[in-house]
C-alpha cells in the first residue's frame, strides 16, 4: 500500500517533488535494482523506470515498477515508448500496468531500434508521444483508442518531456498539444544554465503545468565535453566545463546542488538522472537547503 498522498496530488498541490531515474536490469534478477531503490526511500517521491533506453533491450519497466512498489512502498513512473508496441499492445500495456497499481506514466516516442543492441528490430510507431498521451487520456475517460467503452476506466497521471534548450515555435506548439491532450506534468531534459531554464519557464508560463527540471550530475570534465559534442539538445556552459577541468572528484555533485538551490523556488521539483550512481542522489538531496519544502513561487 503506497502513501495516501500520491505523486499527482503532490504536483497538484505544487509541493516540491524529487523523482529519480532508474534503468531496468538486462536480465531477470531484480535484487540489485531493489537494493539501489531502497537507498532512495524517503529521498525520492517517485522513481522513473526507463523503457529500453537508447533502444537497448532490458526488462519491462512495468514489471520492475510494480515490483519496486510492492517491495519498497515507493511510487514509480513507468516510461512507455511507441517503438515496440502497436496500438493494441500500447493499450494492453497501459491497462495491465494500471491493474498492477502502477498509475504514473511518462509518454515517449522512443529511440530508433537501429541505435540499440538489436538493430534488426522493427520500430512500430503506430503513434508518437502525442498519440500515446491521447490513448492514456482516453483510457482515463473510459474508452479505448477506437472509441469503444471500457468495462472500467483508468486514472493515470500522465507525464511528458520537454527540452528547455529548444524554444522554437514548433517545440512550444508540440508541448502545448501534449498538454491539451492530457499531459499533466513535465520532466525536462537536463539543463545546466538557469538563464536557459528561466527563458523556458517564461515561454510555457501560460500552460500552468508542474515542471520537474532534469538534473544530470556531471561525473567529470570528459563527460561534460562529450555531452556538448555528442548529445543533441544538451548544453553545458563553458564556465562549468572549465570548473570541472580544474577541480577534483565530487565537483559535479556540488554544481548540481548549487544549481538546484538557485532554481528551487520557481519550479515544482527536480528529476535526477544519476546514471546508476544512486549515492549521488542522496548527496545532492542532502546538500540542497530545504529541498523538501513547498514551492513558494511557480512561474
Q: What is the mean pLDDT of the chain?
A: 94
What cell numbers appear for 293 in the block? 519544502
pLDDT tops 60 at residue 4 = no
Is the pLDDT confidence value at 85 over 70?
Answer: yes
Residue 294 pLDDT exceeds 90: no
Tens-digit pLDDT profile for residues 117-136 = 999 999 999 999 999 999 99
**Structure confidence at residue 295 (pLDDT):** 40
CA distance 191 to 221: 16
Q: Which of 18, 117, 28 is nearest to 75 (CA)?
A: 18
Is the pLDDT confidence value at 283 over 50?
yes
The 10s digit of each residue's pLDDT in 193-236 is 999 999 999 999 999 999 999 999 999 999 999 999 988 889 99
What dihedral angle (degrees, nearest 10) is formed by the CA atoms of 142, 9, 25, 96? -20
**In sequence order, which ranges of the chain are alpha helices (DSSP H)?**
7-12, 31-38, 61-72, 87-99, 129-140, 169-180, 194-203, 221-230, 238-245, 251-263, 278-287
The dihedral sign for the CA sequence 289, 291, 297, 299: positive
- Model confidence band, residue 2 (pLDDT cutoffs 50, 70, 90): low
Amino acid at each position: 500500500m503506497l502513501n495516501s498522498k500520491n505523486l499527482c496530488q503532490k504536483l497538484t498541490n505544487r509541493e516540491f517533488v524529487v523523482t529519480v531515474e532508474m534503468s531496468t536490469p538486462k536480465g531477470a534478477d531484480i535484487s540489485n535494482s531493489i537494493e539501489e531503490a531502497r537507498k532512495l526511500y524517503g529521498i525520492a517521491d517517485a522513481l522513473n523506470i526507463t523503457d529500453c533506453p537508447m533502444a537497448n533491450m532490458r526488462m519491462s519497466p512495468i514489471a520492475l515498477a510494480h515490483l519496486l512498489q510492492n517491495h519498497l512502498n515507493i511510487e514509480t513512473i513507468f516510461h512507455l515508448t511507441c517503438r515496440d508496441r502497436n496500438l493494441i499492445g500500447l493499450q494492453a500495456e497501459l491497462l495491465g500496468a494500471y491493474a498492477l497499481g502502477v498509475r504514473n506514466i511518462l509518454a515517449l516516442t522512443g529511440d530508433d531500434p537501429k541505435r540499440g543492441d538489436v538493430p534488426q528490430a522493427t520500430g512500430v510507431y503506430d503513434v508518437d508521444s502525442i498519440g500515446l498521451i491521447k490513448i492514456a487520456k482516453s483510457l482515463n475517460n473510459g474508452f479505448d483508442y477506437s472509441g469503444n467503452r471500457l468495462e472500467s476506466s483508468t486514472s493515470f497521471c500522465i507525464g511528458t518531456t520537454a527540452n528547455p534548450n529548444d524554444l522554437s515555435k514548433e517545440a512550444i506548439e508540440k508541448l502545448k498539444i501534449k498538454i491539451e491532450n492530457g499531459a499533466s506534468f513535465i520532466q525536462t531534459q537536463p539543463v545546466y544554465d538557469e538563464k536557459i531554464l528561466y527563458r523556458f519557464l517564461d515561454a510555457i508560463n501560460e500552460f500552468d503545468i508542474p515542471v520537474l527540471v532534469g538534473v544530470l550530475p556531471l561525473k567529470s570534465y570528459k563527460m561534460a565535453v562529450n555531452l556538448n559534442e555528442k548529445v543533441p539538445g544538451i548544453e553545458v556552459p563553458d564556465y562549468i566545463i572549465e570548473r570541472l577541468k580544474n577541480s577534483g572528484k565530487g565537483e559535479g555533485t556540488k554544481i548540481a546542488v548549487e544549481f538546484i538551490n538557485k532554481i528551487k523556488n520557481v519550479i515544482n521539483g527536480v528529476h535526477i538522472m544519476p546514471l546508476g550512481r544512486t549515492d549521488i542522489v542522496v548527496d545532492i538531496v542532502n546538500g540542497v537547503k530545504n529541498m523538501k519544502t513547498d514551492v513558494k513561487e511557480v512561474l
